[in-house]
Amino acid sequence: MPHHIELFMGGCPLCEEVRNMLEVGKCAGCRLDIYDLATSYDSIRAKIREYGIRCVPTIVIDGKIKVEGLPQFTFICSEELYRQLEANYRFR
């Protein structure tokens, strides 16, 4: 099942590490949208409020899973991973 992955980043080395992890680990069916707060804050302000973004990097998956900071897991797209994320990082 394809997922919508959104990454909120700020241009720091840690953010780039997470971006690379997501680009390598996502499957071809998943959509990855990257929002750089350093360059496009005003245009995504509503989305930042909607998700309660407090730090970068933050990953939001399907609008209901939120992972703040550097993930403590390897991101390899699978239904098993998404079940684990829903159990541990669900915010809605």
| Domains delineated in the chain | 4-89 (3.40.30.10)
CA 5 to centroid of chain Cα atoms: 5
Phi then psi dihedrals of residue 86, to 5 deg: -60, -35
Residue 1 is predicted with a pLDDT of 81
CA distance 2 to 13: 28
What per-residue confidence (pLDDT) applies to 23? Answer: 97
Give residue 62's pLDDT band: very low, low, confident or very high (50, 70, 90). Answer: very high
For residues 59 and 89, the answer to whether their CB atoms sit within 8 Å is no
pLDDT (0 to 100) of residue 67: 98
Name the helix (H) or strand (E) containing 36. Answer: strand 31-36
Q: What percent of the chain has pLDDT over 90?
A: 96
